[in-house]
Structure 1
Amino acid sequence: MKLITMSHNYQTGAVQKISDVVLGTSGIIKNAERYNGKNVLFCGVIYMAEDLYTMADDVRVFIPEITVKGGEVLRPRCPMIAYQGRSSIITMRDVKKARKLKPDIILSYINTPLSIKGETDGVYNGTSAFESIDKIAETNKRGIAVLIGDVNVNAWITVKTAQNHPEFTIISMPADGVYCPPHIDIDSKEFISTWEELAKAHGEKNVGLEMHPEVNSDLRSFGFEKNAYFGGTDGLVKEPLGSDKKVWLIGTVEGIIDRIKTLTNQKELHSPCIICPPMAYTTTSKVERAREILENGGPTATIYYRHPEEPYYDVEIHREELITKRGDGGMRIPAVELAIDDEIKEKGRKALSVLL
């Protein structure tokens, strides 16, 4: 089996180095057709693998290893969706609540499960939300958009929207707020202190500042004050590469630093050294083992996204001898193939196509 190993920008530098291609979340969607009919070993959280499977035709998508229990993928799963009880879970209930508000548009954040995306009017990754909002505001300056996703991204969009469309209303859901734990955990005081040290050493105008909009409110306010660049992972990679500034402070997960370093050695990069645990779950040894298994007998199991609400998945075991069973009833399964119900896939594709 000829495999293409694809990694997300947030994967560790070691995994990126053994990958054939490294992309951000939007890049995976926008470049999916390049992998039509291919076999892809995907290194990232599971919703990204679902997006690739959905947007490419006749692609086979494999995941180096998953931990699953009772139809629920525990790892590698986006911490925004479920993270040790610290973040509430985005569910179909949020879509139903949003519909009752009768807004002009309902958008779901790119990190949400595919079946939920498919029940909304489209997907947003941060910056793409502005295009949808601008289009509505052209004919209805008092329009209403419901954004189902990260509370900090939604707050950033709300502030930026108010600058251009002061009468437009953004409603963020879920009401109790979901967030990205690694980004929310960035120490604001330490980050700002690092900025001040760099600005003093190099001159403020010579230091680049960028951050992911999932950062906490203190960092978001600081970013606005300093005119920082806010963007998704592809943008966070491109911005320093296209700038004359040699020194950069970057507020996001450490994998971005590794990615930029592979593309240039002309930048001095600083970051809070934050790791995304679900991304770190995939290691080089797991990737190499998955390659060996897939090339010698095929996948250990197939995980089917069959249900619109949790538990989303059914698991079909092909090679039980390769599975590690846990005491709590869960299983660690290497070299897993992903499959998605046709209806869920088609609805998801329609929503994801907004990003194209």
Structure 2
Amino acid sequence: MIEDMKSKILRLKKEKKAVILAHNYQIDEVQEIADYIGDSLALSKIAMNVKEDTIVFCGVKFMAETAKILAPDKKVLLPVAEAGCPMADMVTAENLRKTKKEYPEAVVVCYVNSSADVKAESDICCTSANALEVIKSIDSDKILFVPDRNLASYIKSQVKDKQIDMWQGFCIVHNRVSEDNLSYIKENYPVAPILVHPECRPEIIEHADFVGSTSEIIKKVKELKDKKIIIGTEEGILYTLKKQNPDKEFILLSNKLACVNMKKTTLQDVSNALENDINRIEIDETIREKAYNSLIRMISL
């Protein structure tokens, strides 16, 4: 059944001149049929340069929106319309406009995990992979960072010469990792290195051996000689980690590191999107142009 579905998708992809992008947090079967797998930054860059007419984005809505912002001439399909991001919903363009008035001198840095409307109200975007570089590149010493307070807190600990005011949003998955989880892991795997995503809470990051984005964690694992490694990010990353490091064992820092929204997309959904041209991403051109400017300032770094 699965193999038949994969064959159908490959056929449809060729017929529709489509390319499939999948985030590292997608289910294994979806990652297997993707042309490109990566984190937000990598997939954003890929979206700008694909030659195919259609992009099927296996991820959540803000990711598909980002692809459309960067590649407006492409048809962008999101296999599951309801695949959203709770953190992205924690900030709206209207609320951001009001808050900007309270910080008139601040440069607004917007985490890519946000809607097109919010990106349009921001000065520059960032991802977890390049947030530190983006913040350091800004001339102003006053920053308003939206919407992830945990990523902002981590950056703040690394950049002492800037005032960083943070929105109180968070990733519901990474924010679940608790000190109890940490204590259990340290007791049962005392010598295993702990690699965590900066969307985790500060008290978790404080005890990590390495803090990095999805792509940075994947790269770091390759460099480590340890045979047992603790992973503190969404469990979908294990697909790539196991594939690239068959000789290593990976233990999740928490048993709750699964994003329900990322797991909504199935092979059937990908097939339906391709076959029926459903869930097309459309963005108002005025909003798109403003959001594009915020994204391209990031990418140009």
Structure whose alpha-carbon radius of gyration is higher: 1
Amino acid at match of 1:282: T
In the aligned structure 2, how far is the partner of 1:126 from the partner of 1:161?
Answer: 15
Amino acid at match of 1:154: A
In the aligned structure 2, how far is the partner of 1:195 from the partner of 1:283?
Answer: 35
Check conservation: 1:37, 1:60, Cα contact below 8 A: no
Amino acid at match of 1:113: S
For each residue in 1:139-162, what CA deviation from the matched residue of structure 2 results, as whole angstroms up to 9, or x when unmatched? x6xx21111111111111111112
1:17-96 pair list within 5 angstroms: 17-56=32-71, 58-66=73-81, 75-82=82-89, 88-96=90-98
Give 1:269 shift. 1.0
Structure with more helix by fraction: 2
In the alignment, does 2:239 pair up with 1:239?
no
Q: Where does structure 1 lack aligned partners over 5 or more consecutive residues? A: 67-74, 83-87, 300-334
In the aligned structure 2, how far is the partner of 1:342 from the partner of 1:37?
Answer: 22
In the aligned structure 2, how far is the partner of 1:136 from the partner of 1:20?
Answer: 35
Structure with more strand by fraction: 1
In the aligned structure 2, how far is the partner of 1:27 from the partner of 1:150?
Answer: 20
In the aligned structure 1, how far is the partner of 2:146 from the partner of 2:193?
Answer: 31
1:153-232 pair list within 5 angstroms: 153-162=151-160, 165=161, 168-173=162-167, 177-199=168-190, 204=191, 207-223=192-208, 228-232=209-213
> Which residue does 2:10 correspond to in 1?
none
Distance change in 2, residues 1:40/1:269 (3 Å): same
Instruction: Identify which of 106, 112, 115 aligns with 1:113.
Output: 115
- Aligned sequence identity (%): 25
In the aligned structure 2, how far is the partner of 1:136 from the partner of 1:336?
Answer: 37
Amino acid at match of 1:188: E
Give 1:107 shift. 0.8
> Which residue does 1:254 correspond to in 2?
235
TM (norm. structure 2) is 0.86
Give 1:130 shift. 2.6
In the aligned structure 1, how far is the partner of 2:96 from the partner of 2:284?
Answer: 22
In the alignment, does 2:107 pair up with 1:102?
no
In the aligned structure 2, how far is the partner of 1:180 from the partner of 1:119?
Answer: 21
Amino acid at match of 2:272: R
In the aligned structure 2, how far is the partner of 1:122 from the partner of 1:159?
Answer: 20
Q: Where does structure 2 lack aligned partners over 5 or more consecutive residues? A: 1-15
Distance change in 2, residues 1:269/1:58 (3 Å): same
> Which residue does 1:344 correspond to in 2?
287
Check conservation: 1:61, 1:337, Cα contact below 8 A: yes
